Amino acid sequence: MKLRDIGIIYRKEMKDTLRDRRALISMIVVPILLMPLLTIGIGVLSAEIVGRAMEEIPKVMILGGADSPNITAELRAQSDMLVVPAGSDYAQQIEDKRIRAAVEIPPDFDASLAAGTPSTVTVYDYEGDLKSGIAADRLQKFFGDLRDRTVRDHLAAQRLPDALIHPFEIREQNVVSREKVTGAMVGGIVPYFVILLCLTGAIYPAIDLTAGEKERGTMETILSSPVSRTDLVFGKFLTVLTASLATAFLAVLSMAVSFGIGKGLLMSLTDAGQGNDFTLTINPGSVAAVFAMVLPLAVLFSAALLAIALCAKSYKEAQSYLQPLTIIVVVPGIVSLLPGVDLNARLALIPILNTSLVSKEILMGTYHWHYIALIFISSCVYAAAALTVAVRLFEREDVLFRT
């Protein structure tokens, strides 16, 4: 192996790649734009949608209640809902979204309230529909308040204290650091995107440097130069690896900026009204550690993509081989996001999934050193195997000159 030759190949391939618009888009534009779009874009959009739904005064229907004028009058007086005339087709009207919800008041409801006899109020809604849910919530809040008021009135009548029905309060208190809370909330997402972008950033250069070179007829030119095929593979591999890591690095950078900007939005969306002091805290050291764990995976991706793309005889054929890989990579990424999937010795040997899981732990501030070592070593072994395959394939005439 000649480092000088690898360096010459690497410098040329980098220059070539940086002049390739497609590679630049996948390496620089996509990671920089994806994160703000995902966090700020979706954040703004959902805030807008929820905000508009909250502003709407939903139409609701009162079913029954003719013998309970007090309650129906009180309901009609509510400013956050509009009572429309009752109809027997209320279910259909909810389904057609002509009204958002309906409430059924049992017979003699006013009288039962006064007498303290139990009865049931039914709220009809469109489960899963945002606006119907808001209307149903408002109805439930109205009747919840009414129930509390009735209990208090009954207690007062019997000269009993309010505390009788509230003997104690229940309070939830978080005991872990903000970093761990953030890790638990977004810890799965961050490595997932880093891993996915490591792959997508490597796809175009990998195709361009192999199948692209065959298609354009430069493969024979380079093979007639004295450079050894091993050095040629290493030079190309380092280029793909650089593209892969640059994509992932830019994604993390853009993610950090987006989180900073999008924090306010996330706060308003996630904890509105709950008064929690919600902050996303990601330790830069943890991000660096995640990067170190992703490194052997990027090596594996780069070598594997190079080997697979080399087997194709054209750009298009290589694309059809490599695009499905993004789906294959997504699966372990999603599995790692599932609740209850935690790192163990067996999962530590499954590529991609292991890196995803350990990165999640690292972002939560948990370092299981024995797993980290196992994952790092196993990922390095897989990466070395993929690189060996790539080198072997470059030595095969039937692969290089496939017609």
Contact 260, 281 (CB under 8 A): no
Q: Compose the 176-215 pattern: x for residues touching another protein by CB under 8 A, - for all others.
A: ----------------------------------------
Using rule CB under 8 A, residue 226 touches another protein: yes
Integer angstrom CA distances of residue 372 from 201, 269, 344, 363: 25, 35, 11, 13
Per CB under 8 A, the segment of 15-23, 42-50, 53-61, 310-318 that binds another protein is: 15-23
Using rule CB under 8 A, residue 218 touches another protein: yes
Contact 123, 136 (CB under 8 A): yes
Number of H-type helices and E-type strands within the chain? 18, 4
Assign 3-state DSSP to the chain and report helix, strand, coil percentages, each to 5. 70, 5, 25
| 261: CB partners within 8 A, 6+ apart | 36, 39, 40
CB of 97 to another protein, least distance (A): 56
Residue closer to another protein by CB (options 174, 224) is 224
Contact 84, 61 (CB under 8 A): yes
Per-residue b/e over 133-168, b at no fewer than 16 CB within 10 Å? bbbbebbeebeeebeeeeeeeeeeeeeeeeeeeeee
Per CB under 8 A, the segment of 11-19, 243-251, 287-295, 379-387 that binds another protein is: 11-19
Per CB under 8 A, the segment of 1-9, 25-33, 83-91, 184-192 that binds another protein is: 1-9
Give me the amino acid identity at 352: I
Contact 265, 244 (CB under 8 A): no
Q: Compose the 228-267 pattern: x for residues touching another protein by CB under 8 A, - for all others.
A: x---------------------------------------
CB of 225 to another protein, least distance (A): 4
Binding residue for another protein, selected from 79, 173, 174, 224, defined by CB under 8 A = 224
Residue closer to another protein by CB (options 212, 333) is 212
User: What angle is formed at CA 82 by the lines to CA 81 and CA 87, rounded to 5 degrees?
Assistant: 125
CB of 177 to another protein, least distance (A): 49
Residue closer to another protein by CB (options 55, 398) is 398
CB of 306 to another protein, least distance (A): 18
Pairing of strands 82-84, 122-124: unpaired
Per CB under 8 A, the segment of 131-139, 218-226, 345-353, 382-390 that binds another protein is: 218-226
Using rule CB under 8 A, residue 397 touches another protein: yes
The secondary element (H helix, E strand) that includes residue 302 is helix 284-311
Site for another protein in 307-346 (CB under 8 A): none
What does the binding site for another protein look like in residue numbers (CB under 8 A)? 5, 8-9, 12, 15-16, 19-20, 216-218, 220-221, 223-228, 397-398, 401
